[in-house]
Amino acid sequence: MRAAAVEGSERIGLGYRPPPFMSSVTLFLLSIAAIFLIGAVGEIIFQRTNIPDVIWLIFAGILLGPLSGLVDRAMLSAIAPYFAPLTLVVVLFQGGTTLKLADLSRAAPRSSLLALLTFIAALITMMLVSMIAAWVGLMPDGWSWTHGAMLGAILGGSSSIIIMPAMEQAKVEAKLANLVSLESALTDAFCVVTTVALIDVMLRGSTGASGPVMALAKSFGIGLVVGGVAGLVWLLLLRSLERSEHGYPITLSALLIVYVVIERLGGSAALGILTVAVILGNASSIAPKLGLIGAVQLDTSVRGFHRQMTFMIKSFFFVFIGAMLEGPWTLLLFGTFLGGLLFAARIPSTRLALVGSDLSSEEKNLVTVSMPRGMAAGVLATMPVTAGVVATEGLPVIVFACVLTSIVVFAAGFPVIKRGLRPAAAPAPPPEPRPMAGAPIIAASASAQPEVGQAPALDVPPTGAADGADGPPAEPTQELFPVTDGSDEPEREP
């Protein structure tokens, strides 16, 4: 990771010195190989143990960054403004294309309530605790209630890129998986939209209670409108891109352009990308309503290539989070403490949101522990500093420590609760079919009472052989009595 900017880093005095036993190029190639291998092996471990793979990537980042010093934090901070938007586009598109309108319609009411309550609970908790920390001198000078609300918005939602694969790999029951997956997708949008709006409010100096509300409404509206129009336009182009080998690069380029356009208009670019993704992911059901004839859907090659892109981006980003976990210790410990508070705040909010549901206590516990923060929080943590918001220099360290803590809570609780679930997720076995007329009854004769010897005579009358002049009826009659114990003979005789 480091060697791509080695020469420039040395020129600007970052002080990097590659190990004497290897060149910078060698270190760069080995780092890339290690990140990909750790990501792949982590997914294999996840399939066997239900322990999320991202935790190994974060530990790898800690090894490359704070422990060994092979990756310089200053260099990572320099590339974060460029890496964060690309990561956001890739992640939101991957999560949005997996959401189906049918599932959304069924799970939307409960998931929306769950997402709203958990987001509000996290935002209020982080705001209050951060202000207490500011009063005792732990936070920097200039920390305000708006800063606290921004911290709560950054940490307000679970990570769809962790939750969705976890539910799929663990084969959690569909209704439960849809509930937490949709919650994570909604809270991702809540986090991004609210954080960006609050950053805009702090930079422009908006005052009064209506300032943030109007900014949020404007941000939501522009993102939804532009994203919806872009999604419908791209829907018309899907058929022409279906067999194009450049379908994915063109699609990704269009997403980046949409992101820039919405951002320049002052809207929520993240919500716009999510809107485009949902439209394209449900193209097969939306296209007929628009009068498009023939099969219109997102090309499987585009989906497959984007999954690989998501894997690579995810691997790099969680290593990036681990590498950024470097002092001061007071902020690291404070972020760890906030991670524990997020779990405590989630317990009553999930219980309230699930009142009246048909979920068991174990399933409710699984919803409660499904709280890992991830890429959205990590990306948003770098935005206030990049935008020039005062008193946010230590914010990334706090957020990254909180992200790690929430992932550890999920990694520890998810496998335990998953093993305690009753096997309700497995489909019920179909009822055993009743013997059809003309079918052999050897098995039935072996397991049934001796008295049921007359049952075949009721299903297929022996007179059927005499009534039919042709041969076909005679074969079933012979197969009905392939083995006899002598009990059938009196029934045949008058």
Whether residues 399 and 451 fall in one domain = no
Task: Tell me if 33 is assigned to some domain.
Answer: no
Task: Tell me if 215 is assigned to some domain.
Answer: yes
The residue whose two tokens read 């699609």 is 251
Task: Tell me if 32 is assigned to some domain.
Answer: no
CA distance 352 to 110: 11
Q: Are 203 and 184 in contact (CB under 8 A)?
A: no
Whether residues 145 and 283 fall in one domain = yes
Sign of the torsion angle spanned by Cα atoms 97, 101, 107, 109: positive
Whether residues 205 and 89 fall in one domain = yes
Q: Looking at this protein, which amino acid is placed at residue 338? A: L
487 — phi, psi (to 5°)? Answer: -75, -20
CA distance 446 to 477: 19
Segment holding 245, helix H or strand E: none
Q: Looking at this protein, which amino acid is placed at residue 187? A: T
Q: Are 175 and 192 in contact (CB under 8 A)?
A: no
| Nearest CA-CA partner of 477 in 445, 430, 439, 448 | 439
Whether residues 109 and 164 fall in one domain = yes
Task: Tell me if 348 is assigned to some domain.
Answer: yes
Alpha-carbon distances, residue 34 vs 57, 130, 170, 310, 379 (angstroms): 10, 37, 26, 17, 23
Whether residues 466 and 340 fall in one domain = no
Structure tokens at 302: 């585009």
Residues of 295-313 as b/e, b for ≥16 C-beta within 10 angstroms?
A: ebbbbeebbebbeebbbeb
Whether residues 313 and 459 fall in one domain = no
100 — phi, psi (to 5°)? Answer: -100, 140
Which pLDDT value is given to residue 429? 52
201 — phi, psi (to 5°)? Answer: -65, -45
Q: What is the CATH number of the domain that holds 269?
A: 1.20.1530.20
Whether residues 409 and 480 fall in one domain = no
CA distance 335 to 139: 12
CA distance 450 to 265: 83
Sign of the torsion angle spanned by Cα atoms 65, 71, 74, 76: negative
| Nearest CA-CA partner of 199 in 149, 155, 245, 163 | 149
Determine the structural domain holding residue 474 and report its residue range.
Answer: 442-492
Q: Are 273 and 93 in contact (CB under 8 A)?
A: yes
Which pLDDT value is given to residue 376? 80
| Residue 68 DSSP label | T
Q: Are 146 and 131 in contact (CB under 8 A)?
A: no
Whether residues 345 and 484 fall in one domain = no
Task: Tell me if 41 is assigned to some domain.
Answer: no
| Nearest CA-CA partner of 400 in 331, 330, 312, 310 | 331
Task: Tell me if 487 is assigned to some domain.
Answer: yes
Task: Tell me if 172 is assigned to some domain.
Answer: yes
CA distance 6 to 14: 9
Whether residues 409 and 465 fall in one domain = no
Which pLDDT value is given to residue 438? 47
CA distance 189 to 99: 14
Give pLDDT tens digits for 91-147: 778 777 777 777 767 777 898 899 999 999 999 999 999 999 999 988 988 899 999
Whether residues 229 and 269 fall in one domain = yes
Q: Are 193 and 219 in contact (CB under 8 A)?
A: yes
Last residue of a domain, which of 420, 450, 475? Answer: 420
Angle at which helices 73-97 and 375-387 cross, to 10°: 130
The residues, any chain, with a CB within 8 Å of residue 263's CB and separated by 6 or more, are 269
Structure tokens at 411: 């990694």
Q: Are 156 and 123 in contact (CB under 8 A)?
A: yes
| Residue 426 DSSP label | S
Which pLDDT value is given to residue 121? 96
Which pLDDT value is given to residue 440? 46
Task: Tell me if 157 is assigned to some domain.
Answer: yes
Q: Which residues of the chain carry a pLDDT beneath 70?
A: 1-23, 104, 205-213, 215-216, 292-301, 422-494
The pTM of this model reads: 0.70
Which contacts of 198-203 are long-range, i.e. CB under 8 A and separated by 24 or more positions? 198/146, 198/149, 198/150, 198/153, 199/150, 199/383, 199/384, 199/387, 199/389, 200/266, 201/146, 202/146, 202/147, 202/150, 202/389, 203/387, 203/388, 203/389
Domain count, the chain: 2
Which pLDDT value is given to residue 452? 43
Whether residues 140 and 280 fall in one domain = yes
Whether residues 469 and 370 fall in one domain = no
The residue whose two tokens read 């489909």 is 427
Alpha-carbon distances, residue 41 vs 4, 23, 54, 315 (angstroms): 25, 27, 11, 11
CA geometry: angle 338, 120, 373, nearest 5 deg = 45
Q: Looking at this protein, which amino acid is placed at residue 366? A: L
